[in-house]
């Protein structure tokens, strides 16, 4: 345990835990910590980011000689950047286009888990009537 290791090394449990956390730093950055280009404080701030962002920010930290606090602020800001959305499934996109062409309307088809969602957009009342006709749905109450 961290406690036992700390006792045998004569260090605090927190110090041991912090050192062990640094092992999850991007491996490319370990030499920078070992040679002192990055302090342990800088490294801990970088741990919140994915590897490629860790490397990019570490380069900036070294180049601009940023403080640990400045590094923490930048890492926090980097962490708020949303990752790019996954590419849409080309099969779903093709199916959406086919449905839209068949209906003559704008269609948004989304797969969600084991199900999905189909949205059909029309802008004019005439388009609504054509849509219901193509779907075989009557707007009259007596044909429920």
Q: Which residues contact 58 (CB under 8 A, 6 or more apart)?
A: 26, 29, 32, 38, 42, 46
pLDDT tens-digit profile of 53-104?
Answer: 999 999 999 999 999 999 999 999 887 755 556 677 788 888 999 998 888 8
Record the pTM.
Answer: 0.52
Q: Which CATH architecture has domain 2-80?
A: Orthogonal Bundle (1.10)
Please, are residues 77 and 95 in contact by the beta-carbon 8 Å criterion? no
Q: Where are the domains of the chain?
A: 2-80, 90-138
Q: Identify the band that residue 13 occupies on the pLDDT scale cut at 50, 70 and 90.
A: confident
């Amino acid at each position: 345990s961290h406690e036992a290791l700390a006792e045998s090394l004569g260090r605090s449990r927190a110090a041991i835990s912090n050192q062990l956390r640094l092992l999850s730093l991007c491996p490319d950055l370990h030499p920078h910590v070992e040679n002192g280009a990055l302090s342990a404080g800088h490294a801990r701030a970088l741990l919140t980011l994915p590897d490629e962002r860790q490397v990019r920010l570490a380069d900036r930290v070294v180049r601009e000689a940023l403080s640990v606090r400045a590094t923490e602020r930048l890492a926090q800001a980097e962490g708020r950047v949303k990752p790019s959305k996954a590419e849409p499934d080309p099969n779903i996109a093709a199916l959406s286009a086919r449905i839209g062409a068949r209906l003559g309307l704008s269609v948004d088809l989304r797969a969600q888990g084991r199900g999905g969602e189909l949205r059909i957009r029309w802008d004019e009342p005439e388009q609504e009537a054509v849509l219901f006709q193509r779907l075989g749905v009557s707007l009259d109450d007596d044909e429920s």
